[in-house]
Structure 1
Amino acid sequence: MPAATDLKPSGACRALIREFEGMRLEAYRDSKGIPTIGVGHTKGVRMGDRCSIQQADVWLSQDLEDAVAGVQMLVKAPITQSMFDALVSFTFNLGASHLGESTLLILINKRNYKAAAEQFKRWVYAGKERLTGLERRRAAEAALFLDDGIPS
């Protein structure tokens, strides 16, 4: 079973992120009011900003690298490719700090993978508001997390 540091995001990971983030070439405010552009890119974005599809893809690759680095730093237990992809999507959306302080991570590092998969559904709020889009995303991440089975 590979360590997180040995894994890279698969096409399924990128597809999941693209599906739930969408791609917008003009800045908009996300569910928390944060200026966002491209595929969920927030760094340095101001309302009124515009970008090309090519720039959105560059930012996606850079932001994906940040999410990967967070997962690789925090996950100490062996995980499958699907688990890695689900965690990268989760971290892309919420940031490594949220993964780092989560029961999800604690359970993974204790190798309690089934219980960890149940934790995704707790992360469906933007502020105090429960969002259907986040419910769907977390359900997809939880399903992907268990897609390759449970490591022995």
Structure 2
Amino acid sequence: MSVHRKTDAAGRAFITKEEGEVLQTYRCAAGVATIGVGHTGPDVLARMRITREQSQMLLSQDLARFEAAVNRVVTVPLTQNQFNALVSFAFNLGEAALAKSSLVRYVNTTAVRDQATLQNYFRIWRNVNGKPNAAIEARRLREAALFSKP
């Protein structure tokens, strides 16, 4: 029987803090039109404005997609913090990056995880448009710390 986890309130707050919540369209570091809590897609148009309620509704829809991705690719039991950290990772990088990541392979195949090794698996994913990005690297390290939190 598989457990289908969901992001809890603490995970939602973590992702909101990492992404920020902007109620008008802006371009993210990768140059993608974004609104709300890191929401992207064909529905994000130039000069859009949304309410906080609309932002939170979009976040709920987006989280459902990334929760499903983590539930699909991770084959071992996770704590709530581990799940939240992986949803944050997927939210920022996308489902395909999560699925192919060495991080997920490490999580799925290593029962006892070394903190330094775990940090390195998170840190590998620190580039924006092919170049290392200090802000993204710092986020990966916060995700690794959350993953390791009891």
**TM-score between the two structures when normalised by the length of structure 2:** 0.90
User: Which amino acid in 1 is paired with 2:36?
Assistant: G
Residues 6-32 of structure 1: per-residue CA shift (max 9 Å, x gap)? 422122211111111111111011111
* Alignment partner of 1:127 out of 126, 129, 135: 129
Structure 1 runs not aligned, ≥5 long: none
Residue pairs, 1:3-152, within 5 angstroms: 5-44=3-42, 45-112=44-111, 113-114=113-114, 115-148=117-150
Q: Secondary structure at the match of 2:138?
A: helix
Q: Secondary structure at the match of 2:78?
A: coil
Q: Is the 8 A contact 2:20 2:37 kept in 1?
A: yes
Q: Is the 8 A contact 1:103 1:116 kept in 2?
A: no
Q: Is the 8 A contact 1:105 1:116 kept in 2?
A: no
Structure 1 stretches of 4+ with a deviation exceeding 4 A read none
Q: Return the alpha-carbon distance in structure 2 between the equivalents of residues 12 and 139 of structure 1.
A: 17
Q: Return the alpha-carbon distance in structure 1 between the equivalents of residues 35 and 95 of structure 2.
A: 20
Q: Return the alpha-carbon distance in structure 2 between the equivalents of residues 58 and 82 of structure 1.
A: 22
Q: CA deviation at 1:129?
A: 2.4
Q: Return the alpha-carbon distance in structure 1 between the equivalents of residues 16 and 134 of structure 2.
A: 17
User: Which amino acid in 2 is paired with 1:71?
Assistant: V
Give RMSD over aligned pairs.
Answer: 1.6
Residues 121-144 of structure 1: per-residue CA shift (max 9 Å, x gap)? 111110122222212211110001
Alignment coverage as a number of residue pairs? 146
Identity in percent: 38
Structure 2 runs not aligned, ≥5 long: none
**TM-score between the two structures when normalised by the length of structure 1:** 0.89
User: Which amino acid in 2 is paired with 1:126?
Assistant: V
User: Which amino acid in 2 is paired with 1:58?
Assistant: M
Q: Secondary structure at the match of 1:49?
A: coil
